[in-house]
Amino acid sequence: MPNTAPVKKEELADLVRRAPLSFVGSVTRVGGTSLAAVPVEARDERTVVVRVDEVLHAPEAFRQLAGSEVTVQLAADAAPMAVGDAAAFFTQGLVYGDALGVSEVGRLPVGAVLRHISMAAATADELPFTSVQRAIHDEDLVAHAAEADAVVVGTVVGLEDLGLTDFSEHAPHWWRASIEVSIVERGAIEPGPSAFLYPSSTDIRWRQVPNPNAGQESLWLLHRTAGDLAERAAFRILHRDDCQPVQKLAVLREGR
C-alpha cells in the first residue's frame, strides 16, 4: 500500500530550503539521458529520466516543466529506482541546455505531498509549496527582525541624496529617507518624524537593498548607523528584507 502519511512540517521545510526545485514525477528510463553533458560512464542505475507530472516549487524559469522529461542524478545515499516508480523529488540544478539535468537533494513518497497539491488547487497559491515557502520566509523574517535595532511602521515623506564623495569600487551612494513613524514595535525611536539611510547604488553588494519611494508606508527593520554616518541619521537599512508590507507586523507579533 502506498505511503499517504503527510510529511512533518519541519522535514518538508528543510527540504524546500535546500532544494530550489521540487516536482512529482515517474521514472521512464534508468541509466539513460538525453543530456550530452552527462558522460557515458556516469549513466548508471543512479541516473534516471523522470517525466514531471507536477511542479511543487521552482524558480520562475522552471515552473512550466510539467509534461517534460528531466534527468535526475540520484543521491548516493538514496534508494535506487525502477521504471514506473513515482516520487516527489527535491533537486538542485546540474546541467542546463536543451534538456534539464538535476541532482537529487531528497525524496518523499507521492502520498506525503498530496495534501499540499489538493490545498493549492483550492486556493490562490500558484504552486503546491507556495504556502511552505511563505511560512519559511515568515520564520526567517521573525529571526531577522530580532536582530534589528528598531522595528517601526512609517510613511516616507522625503528623500535626499547625501552627496557623499566615495570613489571606492562598491560605494553605497547613501540617501536619507525622512519618515513619519506611526507605530513603534521595538527600539529607541519615537512616533513622529524620523529618518534612516539607505544605499542607492546598483552595485552587486547593495542592489538587493530596497529603495524607498515617496509616500510609501511600510514596516521598516532598522539597524543602528555606525561611525560618522550616524550624524546623518541614527538608523539605516542594509538588507533586502528590511522593508516589508505593513501586514507583516502581525507575523512578527505572532512569532515572538
DSSP per-residue codes, 33-70: -S-TTS-GGG-STTEEEEEEEEEEE--GGGTT-TTSEE
User: Strand (E) positions, 97-163?
Assistant: 100-108, 150-161
Cα distance between residue 148 and residue 223, in whole Å:
5
Q: Which pLDDT does position 37 carry in this prediction?
A: 52
Distances in Å between the Cα of 181 and the Cα atoms of 116, 141, 197, 232, 244 are 39, 20, 15, 18, 15
Q: 40 CB contacts (<8 Å, ≥6 apart)?
A: none
> Cell digits for 205?
553588494
Q: Which pLDDT does position 169 carry in this prediction?
A: 76
Average pLDDT for consecutive 10-residue bins of the chain (256 residues)? Answer: 71 96 96 61 77 96 93 93 97 79 95 93 90 95 97 98 83 96 97 98 93 98 96 97 97 88
Q: Which pLDDT does position 104 carry in this prediction?
A: 97
Number of H helices, E strands in the chain: 4, 11
pTM listed for this prediction:
0.83
Cα distance between residue 86 and residue 248, in whole Å:
38
Q: Which pLDDT does position 124 carry in this prediction?
A: 82
> Cell digits for 191?
512616533
Q: Which pLDDT does position 165 carry in this prediction?
A: 78
Cα distance between residue 189 and residue 151, in whole Å:
9
Delineate the domains of the chain, giving CATH numbers in brackets. 9-123 (2.40.50.120), 148-254 (2.40.50.120)
Half-sphere exposure of 33 (CA within 13 A, CB side): 28
Name the burial class of residue 217, with classes exposed (0-12), middle (13-18) and buried (19+) by CB atoms within 10 angstroms of its CB.
middle
Angle between helices 9-18 and 130-147 (to 10 degrees): 80
* Amino acid letter, residue 20: P
Cα distance between residue 182 and residue 219, in whole Å:
10
Write down the H helix ranges in 80-127: 114-121
* Amino acid letter, residue 160: E
Q: Which pLDDT does position 216 carry in this prediction?
A: 98
